[in-house]
């Protein structure tokens, strides 16, 4: 294994695209491919490279055994084996046979490893905690669960009791855990207040997929990288987020007939440097750029008229809107040369097999859903879907964000059902044998707002740390600490959120429990239990099952609502829920996931190999009886409703959604030339972290200013500066750093939280309800200079470059 | 000819709606997602009012005296809390409904006056008002159960 710092993407294994015959073979359904001669290349031509990460001084022979698993690091789904020695986890090795990674590991697995052994071990929670006289004290499971159940029953007995519960999760749970929580919350308690921090990362991806194609689910397959002739990265720093996927792209770039690469990103990321065309757009202007690219395609007749005519709706309106965006106009708005936009349009208009990947540069920016939909539009205009080498990824940064979205803990109904469709709601009622009474799902920030206002009185937070990650941290913390809110936290460490809880439940992590996980290209993997959890820690599934049992949740006939008892029976229950839906798992079993490679949904008994690409043949999930949403206005999030949707008569055609560019409400200029951003890493690698020790927190707050900006303003390192927005002002010492020019960054600081909060507003995507981040246009002035010495503090704490941190805000 | 009066009524209603969107945003600063959408809709309403101004001038020339009790106030300040937000959105819905029906009436008037230019404005702006109504309805539907049944 190479040194992860010096050589982050490992040794190159260049390869070229498969030939035309292999490409034709790859387009066939799995069972037909089985009948082909083996030399036609049943798998991908990407060479295997097995990476191994073992504890110092150990070799592969030292392991007592290897246990199959899958990475929890991000949504790539790298398959791996855990090395076990004396009941402890001592290393990882990539699985050569897996379709996702062909043996590779993300070098950061070193840091993202299950923290049961070695790193982080001492900080693990091993016993339940309850609050006694203001302090958290150790107790046993009976006492801790007894308190949760007593409070739950008390609340549930009052009128409107269902509305007094809120559940907040993360993409760190397994599919089985997500589904069990969805059933106990939606059918047991009967509440729609159920969401996760997938809202903060992936909500826009889901909203864009639903809006364009009728349902969530990534259309493409990672094997499209093998076949494509062009890769377009839309605000996605693949090198930083999906390392193994990036290696696959690099290997194609180093092999024969390499794909052309286009990167759209305000920052100078590794993909931006690798790309043939880098469009460094001004932040918040993605829609203008996309409209210009679509304008060029349409004006130069570089679209597939037959595909558009047969498989899409809304072309006339799209033409009307993008007509107003010639390259010159977009160049002015986005601050990129018009020639570069035309060059990108030329590539996108002439390629034959295009893969796109979209991430936070689009999602966590002004008009996120609208911009992401324009990438879908590009693929629809060119018919670039459902065949080898042609696919779009609306990516997620979280490991099991897709499971949250599929199973119904992420704001949608389980099985990607439509809450506005009475048939779908009745289906769930019949499946669970309960009376279906579900209203619109409540999104995460609304849940916290209800808790703040006092109408939610019990908030259950599983595997998430909102007190360290949500916008307006100061308010979030005050809410969690409030007297009237009973907070249950289920996690690995005493996180900042756990410190504010009434009951803390110690959870097991990956490698310590059994379950399945679905990657960004719909590949389902099994993750076996390799070692025992520390102390009394329990798998999240066991905790949810225990709660459901103690609460005595029943169906209409008085039988237990949740009739499963372990991961495999939970998986079987989920299969029944997924049956007939776009994410059909009915052909997958635990046995089929063991050994070999992961399997892509939809997978039914008649398509046991799974489905490599969705929407082959241009048939989309937009039929009113099938679709996951009846659609929304991209500018406001207004729901169109069933009548308007049916009137469009979609009949399996995809929607081309048009959107005019609208500048963000917080724009720089008029005396506020800089952008103030606050926060901390929240989204992409939600590796759980213990709260800082009290000593750690006793540090001075500071703001980071780019060195060029600082020079222009006459600000030196350590000077006291005043940061003023249109809303408020604060003063803090400056640190001159490599933050992006024009951006002032303030790391979260408890002492300054309220001041920073008041300075900013939270940007929102109106459709997906994904917070963009706390942002404000500001001006910075020097208040007073400071003597030397502040620099020493900066060196101690400034280990990360500001620009890196900014990416993860 | 009373078209000018109706244009003035619509113009005033659009401005009142713009101000109401701003007021509801200010009155509920901690509500998620209100800031961006309300500001955006306020700007939109203001633009719609401005687009009407040439027509108000055009038809005012031949207008008779304005009848009494033409205007009515539908929204008079925000109320606090979850139920307050619901009532405020409800008021805005009525105000937006007044705009919507006024657009529709003005459209009839414009047809009678054979004013293609005004008709074009009405077609465009009336559609925007319809989306504003949908947004208000969506927002109310989402908060109603909690505000009515759960919150005390």
Q: What is the pLDDT of residues A552-571, one digit of tens each?
A: 999 999 999 999 999 999 99
**What is the average pLDDT across A319-329?**
96
For residue A768, pLDDT over 90 is answered with: no
Q: What are phi and psi of B109, to 5 degrees?
A: -60, -45
Q: Of A280-284, A738-742, A789-793, where does mean pLDDT reach its minimum?
A: A789-793
Quick one: pLDDT at residue A388?
Answer: 92
Same domain, residue pair A787 and A739: yes
Measured between beta carbons, the chain B residues lying within 8 angstroms of A638 are 131-132, 134-135, 137-138
Tokens 């300054």 identify what position?
A: A752
Q: Do A638 and B138 touch (CB under 8 A)?
A: yes
Q: Is B137 contained in some domain? A: yes
The answer to whether residue A658 sits within a structural domain is no
What's the CA gap between B128 and A767, in Å, rounded?
17
Question: Mean pLDDT, to the nearest integer, of A68-81?
Answer: 88
Nearest to A72 by CA among A395, A399, A539, A397: A399
**pLDDT-derived band of residue A342, with 50, 70 and 90 as boundaries?**
very high
- In this predicted structure, what is the pLDDT of residue A667? 65
Which pLDDT score, from 0 to 100, does residue A277 have?
Answer: 96
pLDDT at residue number B89: 94
Segment A304-311 shows an average pLDDT of: 96
Q: Which of the residue ranges A39-48, A638-647, A787-796 has the most confident prediction, judged by mean pLDDT?
A: A638-647
* Integer Cα distance of A172 and B90 in angstroms: 40
Average pLDDT for residues A33-52, to the nearest whole number? Answer: 77
Same-domain status, A597 and A639 = no
A719-762: per-residue pLDDT in tens? 999 988 877 788 888 888 766 677 787 766 656 666 676 677 66
Helices marked H in B61-114 — which ranges?
Answer: 81-112
Kindly tell me if the per-residue pLDDT of A573 is higher than 70: yes
Scanning A511-647, the segments in alpha helix (DSSP H) are: 540-551, 567-578, 590-593, 642-647
Q: How far apart are CA A358 and CA A361, in angstroms?
A: 8
Do the Cβ atoms of A766 and B134 come within 8 Å? no
Copy the structure tokens of residue A678. 């606050």
Residue B69, domain member (yes or no): no
A65-70 and A79-85 as β-strands: parallel, antiparallel, unpaired? Answer: antiparallel
Which phi and psi (to 5°) does residue A761 adopt?
-120, 155
For an interface test with B, give the residue of A419, A452, A636 to mutate (most B CBs within 10 A): A636
Do residues A213 and A226 share a domain? yes
A167-214 pLDDT tens trace: 999 878 999 999 999 999 999 999 999 998 878 777 899 999 999 999
Residue B130 lies in a domain: yes
What is the structure's pLDDT at A83? 93
| Range(s) of the domain holding residue B41 | 3-61+79-150
The pLDDT score that the predictor gives to residue B70 is 58
For residue A690, CA distances in Å to A213, A466, A480, A505, A593 come to 40, 13, 17, 14, 33
Share of chain A above pLDDT 90, in %: 59
Q: Provide the pLDDT for residue A800.
A: 30
Residue A10 covered by a domain = no
**Residue A547 vs residue A18, higher pLDDT:** A547
- For residues A422 and A369, membership in a common domain is answered with no
User: How many domains would you assign to chain A?
Assistant: 5
pLDDT of A787 = 46
Q: Are residues A116 and A213 in the same domain?
A: no
Domain that includes residue A589, residue range:
129-201+400-614
Asked if residue A5 belongs to a domain, the reply is no
Residue A771 has pLDDT above 60, yes or no: yes
Q: Is residue A721 part of a domain?
A: yes
Is residue B68 in some structural domain?
no
Question: pLDDT higher for A677 or A705?
Answer: A705
Look at residue B76 and tell me whether its pLDDT is greater than 80.
no
> Do A453 and B132 count as a contact with CB atoms less than 8 A apart?
no
Q: How far apart are CA A259 and CA A21, in angstroms?
A: 19
Are A219 and A323 in the same domain?
yes
Interface test mutation site (partner B, options A284, A287, A442, A453, max chain B beta carbons within 10 A): A453
Whether residue B100 lies inside any domain: the answer is: yes
Q: Tell me, what's the pLDDT at A110?
A: 67
- Among A160, A440, A764, the residue with its CB nearest the CB of B33 is A764
Answer yes or no: is pLDDT of A790 > 50.
no
Shared-domain flag, residues A196 and A207 = no
Query: Could you give the CA distance from residue A292 to residue A272 in angstroms, rounded to a whole number?
Result: 20
pLDDT for A809:
26
- For residue range A260-279, what is the model confidence (pLDDT) as tens digits? 999 998 777 889 999 999 99
Q: What is the mean pLDDT of residues B98-117?
A: 93
**A-side interface with B, Cβ within 8 Å?**
159-160, 162-164, 192, 439-440, 442-443, 445-446, 449-450, 452-455, 475, 632-633, 635-641, 662, 665, 761-764, 766, 769
The Cα of B86 is separated from the nearest Cα of chain A by a number of Å equal to 14
CB A685 within 8 A of CB A112: yes
Residue A665 lies in a domain: no
User: What average pLDDT is seen over chain A?
Assistant: 86
Tokens of A410: 């992420």
Asked if the Cβ–Cβ distance from A164 to B150 is below 8 Å, we say yes
> Among the three residues A366, A395, A424, which one is the final residue of a domain in this structure?
A395
Domain presence at residue B67: no
Residue A659 lies inside a defined structural domain of this protein: no
Is B62 exposed, middle or buried (CB count within 10 Å of its CB: 0-12, 13-18, 19+)? exposed
For range A410-420, the mean pLDDT? 91
CATH, residue A284: 3.40.228.10
In this structure, is residue B71 part of a structural domain?
Answer: no
Tell me what pLDDT residue A505 has.
Answer: 97
- Does A567 share its domain with A423? yes
Alpha-carbon dihedral sign for residues A159, A160, A164, A166 = positive
Q: Which residues of chain B lie closer than 8 angstroms to A475, CB-CB?
A: 30
Average pLDDT (A146-152) is: 97
pLDDT value of position A117: 44
What's the pLDDT score for residue A276? 96
Q: Cβ–Cβ of A637/B37 closer than 8 Å?
A: yes
Domain count, chain B: 1
Q: Are residues B37 and A439, on separate chains, in Cβ contact within 8 Å?
A: no
Q: What is the CATH number of the domain that holds B125?
A: 1.20.1260
Coil, strand or helix at A543: helix
Residue located via tokens 């657009």: B103
Q: What is B27-69 written as a DSSP string?
A: H-TTSTTHHHHHHHHHHHHHHHHHHHHHHHHHHHTT--PPPTT
pLDDT of residue A337: 95
Same domain, A689 and A753: yes
Residue A108, pLDDT > 80, answer no
**Among A95, A123, A151, where does a domain finish?**
A123
Residue A664 within any structural domain of the chain: no
Q: Per mean pLDDT, which range of A702-711, B16-25, B118-127 is the poorest?
A: A702-711
Helix, strand, or coil (residue A300): coil
| pLDDT above 90 (res A4) | no
Residue A524 domain flag: yes
Tens of pLDDT along A689-710? 555 444 443 356 788 888 888 8
Residues A608 and A728 in one domain: no
* Lowest mean pLDDT, pick from A10-19, A315-324, A485-494, A735-744: A735-744
What share of chain A has pLDDT > 70, as a percent?
87
- What is the Rg, in whole angstroms, of the alpha carbon atoms belonging to chain B? 17
Task: With residue A147 as reference, give the H or E element that holds it.
Answer: helix A141-157
pLDDT computed for residue A167 by the predictor? 96
Note every long-range contact of B24-27, with CB atoms under 8 Å and residues 24 or more positions apart, other chains counting: B24/B78, B24/B85, B24/B88, B24/B89, B24/B92, B26/B78, B27/B77, B27/B78, B27/B79, B27/B80, B27/B88
DSSP A99-110: TTTTT---TTHH
Listed range (A10-24, A91-105, A750-764, B50-64) with the worst mean pLDDT: A750-764
In a domain, B97, yes or no: yes
């Amino acid at each position: 294994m190479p040194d992860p710092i010096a050589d982050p993407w490992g040794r190159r294994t260049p390869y070229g695209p498969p030939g035309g015959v292999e490409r034709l073979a790859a387009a066939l359904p799995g069972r037909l491919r089985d009948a082909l001669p083996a030399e036609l290349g049943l798998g991908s031509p990407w060479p295997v490279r097995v990476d191994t990460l073992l504890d110092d001084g150990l070799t592969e022979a030292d392991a007592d055994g290897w246990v199959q698993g899958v990475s929890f690091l991000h949504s790539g789904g790298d398959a791996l084996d855990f090395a076990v020695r004396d009941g402890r986890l001592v290393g990882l090795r990539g699985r050569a046979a897996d379709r996702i990674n062909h043996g590779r590991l993300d070098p950061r697995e070193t840091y993202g490893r299950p923290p049961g052994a070695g790193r982080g071990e001492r900080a693990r929670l091993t016993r339940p905690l309850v609050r006694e006289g203001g302090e958290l004290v150790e107790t046993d499971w009976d006492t801790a669960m007894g308190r949760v159940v007593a409070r739950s029953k008390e609340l549930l007995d009052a009128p409107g009791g269902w509305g007094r519960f809120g559940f907040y999760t993360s993409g760190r749970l397994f599919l089985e855990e997500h589904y069990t929580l969805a059933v106990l919350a939606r059918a047991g308690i009967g509440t729609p207040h159920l969401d996760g921090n997938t809202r903060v990362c992936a909500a826009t991806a889901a909203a864009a997929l639903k809006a364009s194609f009728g349902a969530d689910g990534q259309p493409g397959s990672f094997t499209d990288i093998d076949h494509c002739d062009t890769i377009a990265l839309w605000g996605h720093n693949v090198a930083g987020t999906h390392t193994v996927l990036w290696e696959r792209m690099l290997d194609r770039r180093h092999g024969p007939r390499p794909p052309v690469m286009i990167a759209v990103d305000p920052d100078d990321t590794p993909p931006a440097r690798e790309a043939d065309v880098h469009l460094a757009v001004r932040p918040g202007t993605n829609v203008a750029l996309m409209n210009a690219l679509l304008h060029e395609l349409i004006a130069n007749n570089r679209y597939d008229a037959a595909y558009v005519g047969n498989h899409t709706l809304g072309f006339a309106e799209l033409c009307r809107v993008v007509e107003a965006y010639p390259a010159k106009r977009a160049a002015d708005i986005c601050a990129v040369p018009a020639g570069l936009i035309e060059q990108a349009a030329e590539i996108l208009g002439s390629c034959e097999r295009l893969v796109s990947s979209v991430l936070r540069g689009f999602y966590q920016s002004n008009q996120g859903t609208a911009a992401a939909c324009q990438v879908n539009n590009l693929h629809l205009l060119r018919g670039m879907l459902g065949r080898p080498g042609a696919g779009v990824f609306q990516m997620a940064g979280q490991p099991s964000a897709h499971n949250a979205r599929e199973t119904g803990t992420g704001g949608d109904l389980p099985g990607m059902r439509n809450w506005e469709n009475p048939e779908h709601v009745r289906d769930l009622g019949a499946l669970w044998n309960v009376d279906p009474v579900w209203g619109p799902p409540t999104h995460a920030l609304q849940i916290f707002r209800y808790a703040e206002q006092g109408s939610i009185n019990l908030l259950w937070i599983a595997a998430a740390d909102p007190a360290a990650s949500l916008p307006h941290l100061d308010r979030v913390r005050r809410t969690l600490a409030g007297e009237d809110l009973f907070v249950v936290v289920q996690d690995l460490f005493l996180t900042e959120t756990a410190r504010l809880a009434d009951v803390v439940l110690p959870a097991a992590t990956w490698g310590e429990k059994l379950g399945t996980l679905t990657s960004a290209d719909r590949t389902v993997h099994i993750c076996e239990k390799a070692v025992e959890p520390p102390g009394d820690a329990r798998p999240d599934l066991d905790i949810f099952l225990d709660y459901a049992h103690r609460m005595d949740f029943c169906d209409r006939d008085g039988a237990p609502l949740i009739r499963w008892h372990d991961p495999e029976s939970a998986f079987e229950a989920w299969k029944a829920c997924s049956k007939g839906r776009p994410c059909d798992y009915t052909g997958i079993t635990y046995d089929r996931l063991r050994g070999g490679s992961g399997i892509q949904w939809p997978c039914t008994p008649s398509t046991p190999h799974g489905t490599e690409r969705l929407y082959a043949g241009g048939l989309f999930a937009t039929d009113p009886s099938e679709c996951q949403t009846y659609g929304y206005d991209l500018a406001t999030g207004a729901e169109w409703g069933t009548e308007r949707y049916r009137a469009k008569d979609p009949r399996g055609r995809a929607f081309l959604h048009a959107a005019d560019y609208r500048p963000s409400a917080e724009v720089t200029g008029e005396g506020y030339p800089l952008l103030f951003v606050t926060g901390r890493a929240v989204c992409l690698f939600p590796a759980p972290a213990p709260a800082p020790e009290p000593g750690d927190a006793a540090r001075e707050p500071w703001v980071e200013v780019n060195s060029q900006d600082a020079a222009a303003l006459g600000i030196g390192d350590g000077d006291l500066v005043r940061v003023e927005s249109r809303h408020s002002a604060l003063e803090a010492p400056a640190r001159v750093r490599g933050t992006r020019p024009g951006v002032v960054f303030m790391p979260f600081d408890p002492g300054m939280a309220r001041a920073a909060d008041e300075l900013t507003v939270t940007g929102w995507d109106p459709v997906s309800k994904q917070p963009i981040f706390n942002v404000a246009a500001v001006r910075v002035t020097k208040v007073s200079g400071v003597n030397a010495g502040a620099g020493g503090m900066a060196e101690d704490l400034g280990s990360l470059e500001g620009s890196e941190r900014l990416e993860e805000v | 000819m009373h078209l000018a009066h109706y244009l003035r009524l619509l113009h005033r209603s659009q401005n009142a709606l713009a101000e109401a969107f701003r007021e509801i945003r200010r009155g509920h600063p901690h509500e998620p997602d209100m800031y961006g959408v309300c500001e955006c809709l306020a700007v939109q309403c203001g633009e719609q009012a401005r687009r009407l101004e040439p027509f108000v001038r055009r038809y005012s020339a031949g207008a008779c005296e304005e009848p009494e009790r033409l205007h009515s106030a539908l929204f008079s300040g925000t109320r606090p809390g979850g139920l307050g937000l619901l009532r405020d959105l409800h008021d805005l819905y009525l105000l937006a409904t007044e705009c919507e029906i006024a657009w529709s009436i003005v459209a009839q008037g414009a047809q009678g006056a054979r004013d293609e230019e005004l008709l074009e404005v009405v077609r465009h702006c009336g559609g925007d008002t319809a989306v504003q109504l949908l947004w208000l309805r969506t927002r109310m539907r989402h908060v109603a159960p909690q505000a009515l049944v759960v919150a005390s």
